[in-house]
Amino acid sequence: MYLATSEQVQGLIAQGRTITETLEIARDVAKKLLESQSGKAISIDRLDDKFDCPLVVAV
């Protein structure tokens, strides 16, 4: 399982079975959070080509 959070989008937490699935879920959650904060629909067309992805391993 993978877990995604964001320092830029307060409240974003997403979990998935693969990195790709987790990023897709995080994108959807971020969109919903930003829409609820702004009160209007927004468009997130794609993920940036480059992003920081710290890896934390827990056993």
3-state secondary structure 15-34: EECCHHHHHHHHHHHHHHHH
Q: Which residue has better confidence, 8 or 58?
A: 8
0.85 exceeded by pTM: no
Domain spans of the chain? 2-38
Read off the pLDDT band of 17 (50, 70, 90).
very high
Q: For residue 59, what pLDDT is reported? A: 55
CA-to-CA distance for 2 and 8, rounded, in angstroms? 19
For residue 14, the tally of other CB atoms under 10 A from its CB is: 19
Token couple for 18: 């693969």
User: Of the candidates 37, 13, 38, 17, which has an alpha carbon nearest to the alpha carbon of residue 26?
Assistant: 13
